[in-house]
Structure 1
Amino acid sequence: LQDIIFICLCTLIHYNYRHRQMSTLPYPPGLPRWPIVGNAFSFPLTHMHIFFKNLGDRLGTNIMYMEALGRQFIILNDIRMAKDLLEKRSGLYSSRPELPMLTEVIGAKYIFGAMPYGNEWRSHRRIFQQYFSPKNHHRVEERATEFVRKNLLPSLFQTPQDVHGHVRSCMGGFSTSLTYGLPTHRHRDPLVLFAEDVFTKIASTGMYLVNIIPQLKYVPEWVPGANFKTVAREIRDDAYRLMEEPYQATQKSMDEGTLSDCFVLESLERNRSRPNFELQAKRTKQAAMQIYGAASETTAAATMTFILAMLTCPDVQRKAQQELDSVVGFDRLPDFSDKPNLPYLSAIIKEVLRQISSSWNPITPIGVPHLTTDEDVYEGYYIPKGCIVLANSYAMLHDETIFPSPTEFKPERFLKGGAISDDVPDPESVATFGFGRRICPGSAVALSMIYVAAASILTIFDISPALDEKGDPVKVVPEFIATSVVSDPLPFQCRFTPRQGKNVEGLLKEYLNLEVV
């Protein structure tokens, strides 16, 4: 017992000495702070990613420290720094800050992306990774190809004016099929529309005062000003319905033997003989809802941004079409076997993910916050425990020392000698989908859908500006709105014209009359 007490005492002394030594170091550079509120009045309500990039440029630093209403923040504007902390020291930087509105008031502690780092998070991530492992990726590619051909291309051919709706319907249907194995309507599927509404509401939970003053969660719903409790109850009910209804439909199809391959089916079958099957089934149900939401929203935002880029950069569009024609020819649609021979198209997708018009935003401009689980020292600066760390992917992907002329759309920056260059950071694996252990586990799914959608669209369509009543082209100015953690282009007008020399109707003939995929 004396030995144990001695060891504990030595450990405590060492910890206190280390803490005192570390805490005497300075915080990273930042703005002057007011008592109590800190930098609360300096935080912008919109375009936070641009504010932090400009602030870093003004202060001459890529790491900054700010405080607001008792919370401490570290902002990273540099890829190297983000990798140093969020990847190389991921054991300290992989948790998430609490969102009481989401986890306590609504009760959605099962949201994988918001879970604190720990065993429950690892269990959920394992469920994701088992299905979306590289050995299963061919199934994702087959499903993505199917939905582009049966859903997106026929819709753009028949009613091209509703491009935004068609893209969201296709990506929502793809996610539903991949996750639950359920058929969806090509146009305005009820489940797809309901899911969009639910995830939009869930995304809004970060704006409520209860996240700053957690004690408000104890206020009864009937108290004036506690309308957030009413909102929470509605979101809770909708989220429960979204989790249960497609899951139950999937189980019914399983019992009838009519279910196609999907995440839920494989996950349940894999765990059926385990003693903790009920717990695994519950986690599968929770994970399924989130796979649907993440896959649908990210792929829709990226595909719409690709279309917008081709609309505003016609020379890039023509060059990509020439490459596709030389590889795919004129008598078929592209597939994944063509991808290694399409370096320019691959470079376009990387540049789309980087999103580089001065008025454009990255897919996830400020990223999902990380949280430190212990204090740390980096480059002589003190980083406290419980500090929120923001990886500013916008600043990283606009770094002029890495991406010269960052406001120009230049796919060529990713090419060297006619092939993809290894000398430039790849947005497919850096910044766009996060860092370290919290990187999006479904990024390969999103990239597969973006590729096959982009290749197929450019193979059979010319994308051009819509015409006004006088027959003049309608000017398009890229504008974006944050729908959750992603940045989505606002709806815009354009034309999809079948390309000359392409028998588009013949290529799509077997898909044009499909109403359900």
Structure 2
Amino acid sequence: MLIPNVTWLDLCLAGIGAYLVKQVFNKNPTSYPPGPRGWPLVGNIQAIPQIKPWLTIAEWGKKYGAISHVEVLGQHIIALNSVKSAMDMLDKKGTMYSDRPVMPMAGELVGWKHSLALLPHGDRFRQQRKNMHRIMGNRAALNVYHPVEEIETRRFLKRVFSNPEQLQAHVRHTAGAIILRISHGYEVKENNDPFIDLAERAVDQFSQCTAPGAFMVDIMPFLANVPEWFPGAGFKRLAREWSKTREDMVVTPYKFVKDQMAAGIAPTSFTSNLLKGRTLSAEEDDLVMWSAASLYAAGSDTTVSTIYSSFLAMTLFPDVQKKAQAEIDAVVGPDRLPSFADRDSLPYTEALVKEVFRWSVVIPTGVPHRVTEDDIYDGYHIPKGSLVIPNIWFMLNDPRTYGNPSQFNPERFLDNNGKDPELEPRTICFGFGRRICPGTLKSCSTNSLHLADASVWISTAMSLAVFDISKVVEKGVEITPEVDHTSGTISHPKPFKCSIKPRSTTAIALIQQDANY
């Protein structure tokens, strides 16, 4: 009998050997897009960055052009560094470029494969999208949620006023409160809410396990079969722990809605609307549960990053803050807080929100698309099964599209002396083609609101109406925050210090007004 660890080692070596033999005898002479040179047989296995991959992909773009190619153990990866290439491929050829790759770590081992973000393009994907559209597929449907967003943002102002040092926690609490109220009809606790904590952990783990190049099992899927005790298989322990978090996040709030409905006390929500008056099969029930979980996951973290970034921008660019406050003061006045009814009358504040989305990119490389058949683009062969990664970060920081992109400048999105506004960033930052983020509408004008955009707008407008945001002064020295972001699929500004103070006694009175449903 063989020693168990030798048996697994033999299996691993055999898998690698079979792959290498296949590579030797299956050379494809077709011209792929240009890219960094790889090693014989194993390709560009050392070229895939684990930390902030969007920066490396941007360097490829500068060297090789808008579209570049790498290969890792037979897996072709196409990186896109221009809006044109992304729209030509992912939007215009959506039927061919809308699939998702099988992700052994995130999808299979951790269990996110049924989430809308990772679902392959097929019947289940279409049904989840249909569920989303049924509840929030037009402006009127989205407007129903405005009171929830306004009331929870008023509560956010109170929390920030009481304890400004905990800004990031307040942002996360409010984002969770809004999305949980919408998705599951759940009203969060003021402190230490279990569902908000669950969402924070689950989405952070999702971000880590879907990051390009983060886990070798995504490059060599046969590693998914090794036991947890095998040397180098620490990812199996992580997957087991993260799977439990993912399971709790999906199942627990769904059970909450069902229990509330059985008791006849469930408030209206995305989930209750999908369940009400229907007898569901087990498959339909699972689809509703995952539709709600996909909305819950998407809304609980991405909005946090953008709103936190807005405070960072106001700290660093006080002149922008003053212009927005002057506009809000002139349009809204001192006696009330801004509401969604004011949005069309606040063009500079609208431009400021656009600039937040552009300046601090939440999902820098998106989630990879998968090509379902061979294609030719710009004279290059795109083989079936290729992964396509849109470098959204570079597209929103491309100096050919956005002048002086490192500068926070809302006026780039306004008509200035006959000069056309720069490219609308919200047509890029939410993704491309049929994989655009759930709860969004591709046209992001003020007549086509989506949940994330609406939450960021109301938070920005209300916060600027009542707070002055500035740099912290410590021991007589002004502290300038560093602009740096975390790695992972979902990127956040790293924690920073800022001073948040009410603008006046009138502002304090507005903050302290009751905010109830």
TM-score after normalising by structure 2: 0.88
Match of 2:238 among 227, 231, 236: 231
Q: Is the 8 A contact 1:99 1:211 kept in 2?
A: yes
Instruction: Give the 5 Å matches for 1:162-311.
Output: 162-206=166-210, 207-269=214-276, 272=278, 276-311=280-315
Equivalent in the alignment of 2:14: none
Equivalent in the alignment of 1:479: 484
**Partner amino acid for 2:237?**
T
User: Are residues 1:146 and 2:142 paired?
Assistant: no
User: Are residues 1:372 and 2:371 paired?
Assistant: yes
Q: 1:172 to 1:179 in 2, by over 3 A?
A: same
Question: Which range is displaced more, 472-481 or 296-305?
Answer: 472-481
User: Are residues 1:442 and 2:446 paired?
Assistant: no
**Partner amino acid for 1:477?**
E
Q: Deviations over 1:9-49 (max 9, x none)?
A: xxxxxxxxxxxxxx764211112222122122222232221
Q: Deviations over 1:464-491 (max 9, x none)?
A: 11221x2432221112113x42210111
Distance 1:113 1:248 in 2: 22
Equivalent in the alignment of 1:503: 506
Deviation at 1:279, TM superposition (A): 2.5
Distance 2:239 2:395 in 1: 35
User: Are residues 1:91 and 2:102 paired?
Assistant: no
Distance 1:476 1:66 in 2: 36
Distance 2:236 2:495 in 1: 32
Q: Is the 8 A contact 1:154 1:511 kept in 2?
A: no
Deviation at 1:70, TM superposition (A): 1.9
Question: Which range is displaced more, 203-212 or 344-353?
Answer: 203-212
Equivalent in the alignment of 2:461: 455
Secondary structure of residue in 2 paired with 1:109: helix
Equivalent in the alignment of 1:33: 38
**Partner amino acid for 2:317?**
C
Q: Is the 8 A contact 2:67 2:78 kept in 1?
A: yes
Q: Deviations over 1:240-260 (max 9, x none)?
A: 222222212222222233222
Q: 1:222 to 1:408 in 2, by over 3 A?
A: closer
Distance 1:480 1:227 in 2: 26
Equivalent in the alignment of 1:14: none
Distance 1:45 1:238 in 2: 23
Distance 2:246 2:394 in 1: 34
Deviation at 1:511, TM superposition (A): 3.4
Question: Which range is displaced more, 180-189 or 226-235?
Answer: 226-235
Secondary structure of residue in 2 paired with 1:64: strand
Distance 1:230 1:29 in 2: 38
Q: Is the 8 A contact 2:468 2:501 kept in 1?
A: yes
**Partner amino acid for 1:445?**
L
**Partner amino acid for 1:453?**
S
Percentage of pairs with the same residue: 34
Q: Is the 8 A contact 2:486 2:494 kept in 1?
A: yes
Q: 1:401 to 1:233 in 2, by over 3 A?
A: closer
**Partner amino acid for 1:68?**
V
Q: Is the 8 A contact 1:350 1:427 kept in 2?
A: yes
**Partner amino acid for 2:453?**
L
Deviation at 1:262, TM superposition (A): 0.9
Q: Deviations over 1:211-243 (max 9, x none)?
A: 222222222334444333333222222222222
Distance 1:385 1:491 in 2: 42
Instruction: Give the 5 Å matches for 1:353-368.
Output: 353-355=357-359, 361-368=360-367
Q: Deviations over 1:157-207 (max 9, x none)?
A: 111111111111111111111111111123331220122112222333243
Secondary structure of residue in 2 paired with 1:289: helix
Q: 1:205 to 1:44 in 2, by over 3 A?
A: closer
Distance 1:448 1:165 in 2: 20
Q: 1:334 to 1:47 in 2, by over 3 A?
A: same
Distance 2:417 2:439 in 1: 29
Secondary structure of residue in 2 paired with 1:73: strand
Q: 1:94 to 1:362 in 2, by over 3 A?
A: same
Q: Deviations over 1:404-443 (max 9, x none)?
A: 2222211111100599x875321112x2010000000223
Equivalent in the alignment of 2:4: none
Distance 1:123 1:73 in 2: 28
Task: Name the Cα RMSD after superposition.
Answer: 2.0
Q: Is the 8 A contact 1:303 1:454 kept in 2?
A: yes
**Partner amino acid for 1:474?**
I
**Partner amino acid for 1:435?**
F
Match of 1:425 among 420, 423, 426: 423
Secondary structure of residue in 2 paired with 1:72: strand
Secondary structure of residue in 2 paired with 1:117: coil
User: Are residues 1:385 and 2:379 paired?
Assistant: no
Distance 1:236 1:364 in 2: 22
**Partner amino acid for 2:467?**
F
Secondary structure of residue in 1 paired with 2:353: helix
Secondary structure of residue in 2 paired with 1:503: helix
Distance 1:351 1:486 in 2: 18
**Partner amino acid for 1:74?**
I
Secondary structure of residue in 2 paired with 1:362: coil
**Partner amino acid for 1:442?**
G
Distance 2:194 2:245 in 1: 14
Distance 1:51 1:108 in 2: 27
Q: 1:230 to 1:486 in 2, by over 3 A?
A: closer
Deviation at 1:450, TM superposition (A): 0.1
Q: 1:224 to 1:39 in 2, by over 3 A?
A: closer
Secondary structure of residue in 1 paired with 2:480: coil
Runs (5+) with no aligned partner, structure 2: 1-27, 441-449
Q: 1:40 to 1:324 in 2, by over 3 A?
A: same
Q: Is the 8 A contact 2:471 2:499 kept in 1?
A: yes
Equivalent in the alignment of 1:404: 403
Equivalent in the alignment of 1:6: none
Equivalent in the alignment of 1:339: 343
Deviation at 1:455, TM superposition (A): 0.1
Q: Is the 8 A contact 2:471 2:478 kept in 1?
A: yes
Q: 1:224 to 1:401 in 2, by over 3 A?
A: closer
**Partner amino acid for 1:43?**
I
**Partner amino acid for 1:504?**
A
Q: Deviations over 1:316-351 (max 9, x none)?
A: 000000000011100001111100011111111111
**Partner amino acid for 1:311?**
T
Equivalent in the alignment of 2:163: 159
Secondary structure of residue in 2 paired with 1:112: coil
Secondary structure of residue in 2 paired with 1:202: helix
Question: Which range is displaced more, 176-185 or 45-54?
Answer: 45-54
Count, aligned residues:
477
**Partner amino acid for 1:424?**
E
Secondary structure of residue in 1 paired with 2:114: coil
Q: 1:447 to 1:32 in 2, by over 3 A?
A: same
Q: Is the 8 A contact 2:465 2:507 kept in 1?
A: no
Q: Is the 8 A contact 2:207 2:490 kept in 1?
A: no
Distance 2:47 2:435 in 1: 28
Equivalent in the alignment of 1:58: 63
Distance 1:214 1:417 in 2: 53
TM-score after normalising by structure 1: 0.88
